[in-house]
Structure 1
Amino acid sequence: MERVEIGRLGRPYGLSGGLKFRGEPVVLALKRVYLEGLGYRAIAKSENLNQEIVLYLAGVNSRDAAEALVGLRVYTDRAELPRLEEGSYYYFELIGRPVFVDGKPFGEVADMREGPQDLLVIRAQGSSLRARHRTYLVPLQAPYVRVEEGGIHIEAIPGLFD
């Protein structure tokens, strides 16, 4: 059974044990999650409030109990993930993929940022410490970005990597 990371638990929400969730919105469709170091927990309830996800986990009934879980990584079994339509991806599937700019190796996807437009966080490759820590934000849905089997291909436009 393969587990995949789908997010992290954020700050408590309210007084009855709710926790803000940062990660894949697929959590809204799941019945249980695996918490880092604690094992499986049933999702008693989940809500989408003002574009933020709030989870209520079984056995977490107070703000104090929720506080103890802040920052934990949240996983699910790959087999429990709903199938996506062609051309759609879970964020975890993109992280670590190589990135090519105008056909040449450039770096890899280090992270994803959610927002009105999902952004790829690309870490450039290079031999210097500065080059390895430099990141670029690129809109995933841009017409000049293609997700393919071998990696993510970007056609450079003026200013994108300046």
Structure 2
Amino acid sequence: MRRIEIGRIGKSYGLEGGLKFRGEAVIFDLERVYLEGLGYRAVEAVEEHNREIILYLAGVRSRQEAESLVGLRVYADQADLPPLEEGAYYYFELIGRPVFVGSELFGEVVDILDGPQDLLVIRPKGSSLRAQHKTHLVPLQAPYVHLEAEAIRIEPIPGLLD
């Protein structure tokens, strides 16, 4: 069984054990999560308040109990994730995919940065120290980025990967 990181616990919220959740909206569809170092906890409720996700977990009833969880990574079992519509992917499924520019292998996706515009972090192929430490950021939703079943193809755009 594979666990996928879906976010982190933020600050406590309110007096009744609420937690701000920083991560994937898939939390709304889960019945349980795995907390880093603590094991599984049932999800009792998930709310949205002022554009923030508030999470209530079984066994967390006070602000003090909630504060002890701040900063922990939150995981979901891959089997618990809801299916996506055709052509959609979870971000973890994109990590490790080869990236082609035109028909040439350029590198692979090593991470995805969430933000107003999600960015693919691409490490170019090569064994030199420079290649191992250099990365390129490419907007995931850009019209020149094409997600395919086994690879990501980027149309050659001048200056994008220089």
Give the TM bin, normalised by the shorter chain: 0.7 to 0.9
- CA distance in 2: counterparts of 1:105 and 1:44, whole angstroms: 46
1:2-36, Cα deviation, whole Å (9 max, x unpaired): 33222222333344322232322111111111112
Aligned: 1:131 with 2:131: yes
Which one is further off, 71-80 or 145-154?
A: 71-80
CA contact (8 A) 1:13 1:20 kept: yes
Q: Deviations for 1:109-136, whole angstroms, at most 9, x for unmatched residues?
A: 2222223332212223333333322222
Distance 1:21 1:96 in 2: 26
Structure 2 match to 1:141? 141
Q: CA RMSD in A?
A: 2.1
Do the aligned residues in 2 keep the contact of 1:119 with 1:138 (CA within 8 Å)? Answer: yes
Aligned equivalent of 2:111: 111
Contact 1:101 1:155 in 2 (8 A): yes
Question: Which segments of 5 or more consecutive residues in structure 2 lack a partner in the other structure?
Answer: none
* Corresponding position of 1:25: 25
Deviation at 1:50, TM superposition (A): 4.0
TM-score (norm 2): 0.85
In structure 2, C-alpha distance between the alignment counterparts of 1:30 and 1:41, rounded to whole Å: 11
Stretch of structure 1 that moved more, 140-149 or 46-55:
46-55
Describe the SS at the equivalent of 2:131: helix
Question: Cα gap change, 1:107/1:37 in structure 2, threshold over 3 Å: closer, same or farther?
Answer: same
After superposition, the Cα gap between the structure-2 partners of 1:44 and 1:149, relative to the gap in structure 1 and judged at 3 Å, is: same
Q: Report the residue type matching 1:47 in the other structure.
A: E
Q: Secondary structure at the match of 1:70?
A: coil
Query: Match of 1:39, as an amino acid?
Result: G
- Identity among equivalent pairs (%): 70
Could you tell me which residue of structure 1 aligns to residue 54 of structure 2? 54
Alpha-carbon distance in 2 for matches of 1:14, 1:39: 24
Q: Unmatched 5+ residue regions in structure 1?
A: none
Letter of the 1:124 counterpart: P
Superposition TM-score, scaled by structure 1 size: 0.85
May I ask how many residue pairs the two structures share in their alignment? 162
- In the other structure, the counterpart of 2:87 is 87
- Amino acid across the alignment from 1:136: H
Distance 1:59 1:137, change over 3 A: same
- What secondary structure is seen at the aligned counterpart in 2 of 1:65? helix
Q: Which residue of 1 aligns with 2:10?
A: 10
**Partner Cα separation in structure 2 for residue 153 and residue 55 of structure 1:** 37
- Whole-angstrom distance in 2 between the partners of 1:157 and 1:75: 36
| CA deviation string 1:20-60 (max 9, x = no partner) | 32322111111111112211101122123344322121112
The code of the aligned residue for 1:126 comes to G
Q: Matched residues in 1 for 2:146 and 2:4: separation?
A: 24
